Amino acid sequence: DMGGHDTYMHKEITEQVDSVDRVLRGRIDDRFSTVHLGGLNLDAREARAVRRVKILGCGTSYHAGLIGAQMIEELARIPADAEPASEFRYRNPVVDPHTLYIAVSQSGETYDALAAVQELKRKGARVLGVVNVVGSAIARETDGGVYVHAGPEVCVVSTKCFTNTVVAFALLALHLGRIRDLSVADGKRIIAGLRKLPEQIAEILRDEEHIAKLAAEYANAKSMMFIGRVRGYPAALEASLKLKEISYIHAEAYPASELKHGPLALIEPAMPTVAIVPDDDLLEKNRAALEEIKARSGRILAVAHREQEKADHTIVVPKNEDELDPILMGIPLQLLAYHTALALGRDIDKPRNLAKSVTVE
């Protein structure tokens, strides 16, 4: 049932006000400025002994993992990184007993992610899951984890589950942080930020008509460049994937700082850039990248916390705490991909060549 929407994708994008509320519900502990994650199965002593976090997933789940790794580094100060599950599994990785492994999957059935979990388990590693589908294979085979409670996702491309997965990582990062060195004041600050998310998502959704107009304006692009820096980079990767999947427009995602090392050669009017420009300590650096693109007559659509003069257009996103900004930056980009595909008459819920869950190697 699409509940009055023309596609499941649209329904699922607009459901995010409620689905984000669900991943938070019952988990916030104001007394200790932390969160409770019932199924984690990792006590405080074990959490303190973790020396590294390695996150594994595929596609959109990998991108959510990249954001999760940054959150864990920032809030818990544990070195963390993410890698595509299939790459990990084929390179005979060193499995380290002090590393906490986390498998991320909407379906919980993606074969590459499941095989990575099985390989890790066989070698005695501690593996958690950040999974949407309750009782799925990855949920069963991991030692514990966090359910993301996005609800059923029908559209082949992932939207609300991506957002909820990133929020689940924020919860995990806060939890690990408060067991380690994150202060009460910072814990309170992050909790206040988390509580603002549903209303801020509603605010982004109210901007849909504006985003649809911009999508129509850029839908004639041959190819699109997505750039971001640090917190903005995984959002760029995810936005680029979403656009490719449903509009079939070729897209590239680069760290803004890498532009000058090659991809700047691609910039011309037929290749617009979507620039993710949060109001954080990298704002000036990001503005400099916009100038470089303008100097090569590139068109720029900025996704930012305020109007960007250097850009041709800006989608303004509400500001949250710096560490939580990646959660909201993704949502207007889902709408942008959606309306681009709609303008091009694509089969949005069932893009060609793709399946909802990839249970083969």
Looking at the annotation, which residues are catalytic?
356
CA distance 33 to 184: 6
Q: At 103, is the secondary structure helix, strand, or coil?
A: strand
**Contact positions with ligand F6R (CB under 6 A) in 245-264:** 245
Interface segment toward ligand F6R; rule CB under 6 A; list 54-62, 90-98, 280-288, 315-323: 54-62
Q: Of 59 and 187, which CB lies nearer to ligand F6R in the complex structure?
A: 59
Please write down the long-range contacts of 277-281, taking CB distance under 8 Å and 24 or more positions apart: 277/232, 277/302, 277/303, 277/304, 277/305, 277/308, 277/311, 278/231, 278/232, 278/304, 278/305, 278/319, 278/322, 278/325, 278/329, 279/304, 279/305, 279/306, 279/319, 280/231, 280/322, 280/325, 281/322
Query: Which of 9, 23, 58, 221 is the binder for ligand F6R (CB under 6 A)?
Result: 58
Q: For residue 151, how many other CB atoms are within 10 A of its CB?
A: 15
**Contact positions with ligand F6R (CB under 6 A) in 113-132:** 113
Q: Does 110 bind ligand F6R (CB under 6 A)?
A: yes
To ligand F6R, the closest distance from the beta carbon of 138 in angstroms equals: 8
Q: Does 16 bind ligand F6R (CB under 6 A)?
A: no
**Contact positions with ligand F6R (CB under 6 A) in 61-80:** 61
Name the residue with tokens 């019952």. 26
Asked whether the beta carbons of 234 and 60 are under 8 A apart, the reply is no
Q: Does 12 bind ligand F6R (CB under 6 A)?
A: no
Query: Which of 27, 59, 190, 221 is the binder for ligand F6R (CB under 6 A)?
Result: 59
Interface segment toward ligand F6R; rule CB under 6 A; list 15-23, 55-63, 274-282, 319-327: 55-63
Residue 274, strand partner residues: 226, 301
Q: Does 19 bind ligand F6R (CB under 6 A)?
A: no
What is the number of the residue whose Cβ is closest to ligand F6R?
59
- Chain residues binding ligand F6R by CB under 6 A are 58-61, 105-107, 110, 113, 157-158, 245, 357-358
